[in-house]
Structure 1
Amino acid sequence: MMWYVLFGLGVLVVAGLAFYLGQILFQLRAQQRRQQQALLVHLQKQAEHQQYLLDSILLIGKATLEQQCELSEAALRIWVLLENLQPDLAQSSRWPGLFAMYDCVKAMPTHEARKELDKKELRRQDHLRQQTEIQLKESIETDIRGLLELLQQRH
């Protein structure tokens, strides 16, 4: 009789442990599914962001080649977008015109900070920017055409 009690108790312990293990496995699988879903959402957002960066570069580049965007503004915007899209593409030696224009204007104040400059400094900066645009026009346009061609191949 004692063996039946011990056997029954053993069966209950094993059943309890099996149930507990089943619950832990169920929770583990649910956690893995949540992590996979979160990863998929993250990857999709990352892909959408990359596509946004690419589309923005293509749009600004085309607008610049059609003289709808100033060279200095295009260089500044494209360079920052390119650094975020694919840092290894943002090399001064690969796009010397774009980089030279970007390097010229990157520290110039914009928006409210520009409005706070005195007129003499504002004219000096505008003159420097305009002269740099004139000097680098062909090089910038060549760089933009090359960059657009490269990115459209990957697009």
Structure 2
Amino acid sequence: MPLWLQWTLIIAGILAIALLVGFIIRQSRTLQESRKREAKTQAFQKERRESMVESIRVLAMAVEADQMEYSEACLRIKGLLDHVAPELLEQTPFRVFQEVHDLLQHMPTHRARQETDGRFVEKMDRERLAVEEAHADAIRRAATAIRHHPF
């Protein structure tokens, strides 16, 4: 084999090795950045979940201390449990949050409530209070249980 061909092949081999090393380094950096992003995302999700669990506990304490309406607490706790532990909504005693939500979800809230006729709002309030009264004991028991539940 001629000397010039040997040197050409050696240079081509070194060039191929250099390109492969560059590719490996670039892939390694991409992988590290991806791992950092994943770790950051997991930390954010963990913090968000802990915040939701804390909100559930605060709402439960408010129910236990009669500091908020049971219907509002049920709607809020149900919404938070949908993200934190939706399987709890199918278990006793937590099922009451889902039941009250289902009974009240058709009622207007916020701006829609303000724009609704006053007599209709009064009728809805009476219905809401009747639901609260019918489920009051179960709601209090569920609030105590959810406050002590290990998430």
TM-score (norm. length: structure 1): 0.91
- Whether the 8 Å contact between 1:97 and 1:140 is mirrored in structure 2 is yes
Structure 2, unmatched stretches of 5+, are none
Shift >3 Å, 4+ stretches: none
Structure 1, unmatched stretches of 5+, are none
State the alpha-carbon separation in 2 of the partners of residues 97 and 90 from structure 1.
8
**Structure 1 partner of 2:42:** 43
- Compute the RMSD of aligned alpha carbons: 1.5
Counterpart of 2:73, as a letter, is A
- Whether the 8 Å contact between 1:92 and 1:99 is mirrored in structure 2 is no
Does the alignment pair 1:106 with 2:132?
no
- Whether the 8 Å contact between 2:52 and 2:80 is mirrored in structure 1 is yes
State the alpha-carbon separation in 1 of the partners of residues 91 and 69 from structure 2.
20
State the alpha-carbon separation in 2 of the partners of residues 69 and 80 from structure 1.
16
Counterpart of 2:23, as a letter, is I
**Structure 2 partner of 1:72:** 71
- Whether the 8 Å contact between 2:93 and 2:141 is mirrored in structure 1 is no
Counterpart of 1:115, as a letter, is Q
**Structure 1 partner of 2:33:** 34
Structure with more contact order per residue of length (Cα contacts < 8 Å, sep ≥ 6): 2
Offset from partner CA, 1:64-119 (integer Å, 9 cap, x none): 11111110000000001001111111226542432222222222111110011112
TM-score (norm. length: structure 2): 0.93
Offset from partner CA, 1:119-155 (integer Å, 9 cap, x none): 21111100001111111111110111112221xx34x
State the alpha-carbon separation in 1 of the partners of residues 91 and 128 from structure 2.
18
Alignment of 1:60-139 (within 5 A): 60-91=59-90, 94-139=93-138
Offset from partner CA, 1:23-80 (integer Å, 9 cap, x none): 0000110110111111111111111111111011011111111111110000000001
- Whether the 8 Å contact between 2:81 and 2:88 is mirrored in structure 1 is yes
> Which secondary structure does the structure 1 equivalent of 2:74 belong to?
helix
Alignment of 1:134-145 (within 5 A): 134-145=133-144
Identical aligned pairs, as a percentage? 22
State the alpha-carbon separation in 2 of the partners of residues 22 and 5 from structure 1.
26
